[in-house]
Amino acid sequence: MQLQLCTWQEVEAYLAKSRGIILPIGSTEQHGPNGLIGTDAITAEAIARGVGEAVGALVAPTIAVGMAQHHLGFCGSMTLRPSTLIAVVRDMIESLARHGFERFYFINGHGGNIATVTAAFSEVYAARSLQAAGNAPPLVCRLKNWWQTPGIGALSKELFGDAEGSHATPSEVAVTQFLYPQAIKKASLDPPVAPKGDFADAADYRRNFPDGRIGSNPGLATPEHGKRIYETAVAELAADYRSWVG
């Protein structure tokens, strides 16, 4: 059930039986020669909706632009400053808490969001703990990266081995190919497996990884792989949500 497709009366009725909500968060950034710029938002949104359907949970609108300053050397990439993203996440949580939501389950599609979103949770907790009345209502936040579950780890190793890499991975590209077969991109990847390494700012990233990939070979991705990865992610996160929100 998507929040934006509900009436306020439907949300009020939902709150009578559940105080949990799923919030997808991703990014708008380059994903190499054959990856879609919206990959991180597309995957987080689709998997969040799948989990919502599986557990009967409300799913909030996707935060589609994240903390991605290091990708700004590539055309089309967008970012929020860490302070801006913290404010966005806090305001979304506080808005929903105003209506009675208490458990906020973020499904994340972008590694660059992790530190900032975690900091936003700390800001939410600190603000409530410092109130005279204490931490009331008892808000609890959880961040789950859809690609970091035991099943996904095993599946990506089975399908792609060491060519999974850490950015523009065949796993995430495969999920977008499954979801949007009409948007599959073909590209020559040289070398097939991109180099690994570290980076600092956007210029450093572009200099070290000129085609945008890090350690990956997204040429291995197929829609069939994407279907298996999507279904595994939905099943594992649905089980985690049920256990956590219960």
Domain ranges of the chain: 3-241
pLDDT attached to residue 134: 62
- Supply the pLDDT for residue 111: 97
What's the pLDDT at 129? 87
pLDDT, residue 246, reads: 83
Tokens of 76: 């089309």
Question: What integer pLDDT is reported at residue 109 of this predicted model?
Answer: 98
Picking from 64, 71, 73, 55, the residue whose alpha carbon sits closest to that of residue 23 is 64
| CB-facing half-sphere around the CA of 123: CA atoms within 13 A | 19
pLDDT digits (tens, 9 = 90+) for 41-78: 999 999 999 999 999 999 999 999 999 999 999 999 99
Please give the CATH number for the structural domain made up of 3-241. Answer: 3.40.50.10310
Q: Which residues of the chain have pLDDT under 70?
A: 132-137
User: What pLDDT score was predicted for residue 226?
Assistant: 98
What is residue 138's predicted lDDT score, i.e. its pLDDT? 81
CA dihedral 52, 108, 105, 161 (to 10 degrees): 80
